[in-house]
Amino acid sequence: MANKEQTIKYLQAIVTGLSQQALGHDIQSKIFNSKGFKKLAEKYAEHAVEERGYVDQCIDRILDLGGEVKNEAKPEAKVCTNPIDWIKYDLQVSIDGLKFLEEVLEATKGDYTTYDILKDYYKDEEEDMYWAEQQLELIECIGTQNWIINQI
SS3 category, 111: coil
Using an 8 Å Cβ cutoff, are 101 and 118 in contact? yes
Predicted confidence at residue 75, as pLDDT, reads 86
AA letter at 66:
G
Looking at per-residue pLDDT, the higher value among 1 and 42 belongs to 42
CA-CA distance, 59 to 74, in Å (whole number)? 16
Mean pLDDT of the chain, nearest integer = 96
Helix (H) or strand (E) holding 89: helix 83-108
Residue 1 has pLDDT above 90, yes or no: no
Taking the whole predicted model, whether its pTM rises above 0.85 is answered as: yes
Determine the pLDDT at residue 112.
96
Q: Alpha-carbon distance 149 to 152, whole Å?
A: 6
CA separation for the pair 95, 109 (Å, rounded): 21
Per-residue model confidence as pLDDT tens digits over 81-125: 999 999 999 999 999 999 999 999 999 999 999 999 999 999 999
Q: What is the pLDDT of residues 3-40, one digit of tens each?
A: 999 999 999 999 999 999 999 999 999 999 999 999 99
How far is residue 85's CA from residue 36's CA, in Å, rounded to a whole number? 17
